[in-house]
Structure 1
């Protein structure tokens, strides 16, 4: 009898909170202004088309990213609108202002479009920068290497600049708390603050690693497509965006599968190095929020969403988080 694979969980850092997701559910816990916790739940709808596409290598990554952008935007909106508001003072949209379906579609669309816009800028700006310096680095190989250098530099500069703001610094701490909770669960330890804090804030499946892999994978893919004329290079870069995303996703999954194998585990280290910028060591209070979010997700998976109270604006922090994960 084959051994059943344990469920895989992912997450996302938010303003004053953490979202965790499984195959069918996503849950957010945020710290409110009065130091209480508030929860938000969004189901993952298993549509037949997306379910089939997720089984196709190099295509499943694109589907997963689009889905994550849509769902993640809803959790971000929830956190942004409530973290600095006292419970009971929230301004809820009326039916006249927007329908529930319209709001969901709108927020999801914004998330997807924001991701695509950022990807276009991140892809095309380095091409123009490299072209401007063609007199110093002529030829296809030199141009692709220079383009990749600018792409990596832009990524590092962007992360470094936003990490200087107090708000993003706290988000990066919650990002570290998210990874620590996942590592605690995957190592089979009880979800206590002490255990979680003892874990690494880095994780092989992190989206930060994925971003770095798009730079590396894109560089190799560009060697196999036409380089001249310049307009064709631009067209190629645009058309290859889904290809780079799909291949990078597979590389991310591949390196995650090798993380416990000596020597081969180092293939994922470049992504972990980037996480040194996108994660920070969290405070105990932030770890408590992450634990609460993950415990709520486990509770939903065990009991079903219909049996779990999820939206509780005055749910105090439970300091004795003793859920054991085997």
Structure 2
């Protein structure tokens, strides 16, 4: 069984036979909860190439947002208000659209020598978008709370590596594994950004759009790029050296988005994984599941 997951506040979300979270509360105890039974791979449509990327992204966002809210409640001991959740999501979407969609187009439009050359305009715009994203990740990685979040991200990857290698889930066995994982959502984001540069550069040869419609097109074609990016992620996660080479930018980016966890964080990740595979006292290593199902 292939396991997916992601870091949450003072904890880890894991997806296997079901979806589970483990979070350390303000008393130092680990709280483990099952938050869902339906996973992307349980749907027939998940077998459809390109469409399964959108399905996986939907479930990643759906469970991810809920798990972040729930982990905030458990770790702080305070109930989250629905209005706080709504405004947090709203501001995150506005920031993402403004910073990574609108701003790159606007900045590129200021370069007058690019006017009339749609291919070069889209290429430069894509590189600016990529640069802004890398700068954003680097800046937040310097924050203390984010560093701790990235440690849980590293713990998630190390525990999944150990599980998928049939290792006993004990600290000394898990410690030998890397915090880098080929199915990580960080890889997906990097692949998405690179594919978007190629896609919109080629689109620039066909369509000549003003700044407004350029922004609209960047949003409209997101599902297409998600589909292609996910299929590439599935292929690159296999052992092909050529594909691993092409996926190298995403693997390198994980050097920023993961960190070496402490023993208590690994303990939390183990608890989440055991709950996700449906048996807290016994781990089933059957590998009948195909491909990545969750961005972590």
The SS at the match of 1:135 is: helix
Name the structure 2 match of 1:120: 97
Q: Kindly indicate which of the two structures has a greater share of residues assigned to helix.
A: 2
Could you tell me how far 1:18 is from its partner in structure 2? 0.6
- The separation in 2 between residues aligned to 1:134 and 1:215, in whole angstroms, is 24
TM-score (norm 1): 0.77
The CA distance in 2 between the partners of 1:325 and 1:252, in whole Å, is 23
Contact 2:119 2:202 (C-alpha < 8 Å) held by counterparts: no
For normalisation by structure 2, the TM-score amounts to 0.84
Cα contact 1:185–1:191 (8 A) shared by 2: yes
Q: Which residue of 1 aligns with 2:237?
A: 256
* 1:161 aligned onto 2:139: yes
Q: Which residue of 1 aligns with 2:12?
A: 18
Q: 3-state SS of the aligned residue for 1:204? A: coil
State the Cα deviation string for residues 253-293 of structure 1 (Å, max 9, x = none).
11112xx2334421221110111110011111111111121
Determine if the alignment matches structure 1 residue 185 to structure 2 residue 179: no
Partner of 1:97: none
DSSP-derived class of the 2:64 partner: helix
| C-alpha separation in 2, matches of 1:46 and 1:249 | 16
| Residue from 57, 60, 64 that aligns with 1:68 | 60
**Conservation of the 8 A alpha-carbon contact between 1:29 and 1:37:** yes
Distance 1:155 1:173 in 2: 20
1:27 is matched with 20
Aligned length: 281
Offset at residue 33 of structure 1 (A): 1.7
* Separation in structure 1 between the aligned mates of residue 181 and residue 39 of structure 2, nearest angstrom: 26
* Contact 2:126/2:193, CA 8 A, preserved across alignment: yes
Q: Which runs of 5+ in 1 are unaligned?
A: 1-6, 94-102, 303-307, 309-320
Higher-Rg member (1/2)? 1
Structure 2 unpaired stretches of 5+: 287-296
**Which of the numbers 142, 149, 155 marks the counterpart of 1:171?**
149
Separation in 2 of the partners of 1:36 and 1:269? 38
> Separation in 2 of the partners of 1:34 and 1:45?
31
**Which of structures 1 and 2 has the larger relative contact order (alpha carbons within 8 angstroms, sep 6+)?**
2
Does the 8 A contact of 1:66 with 1:112 survive in 2?
Answer: no
How well do the aligned residues superpose, as a CA RMSD in angstroms? 2.9
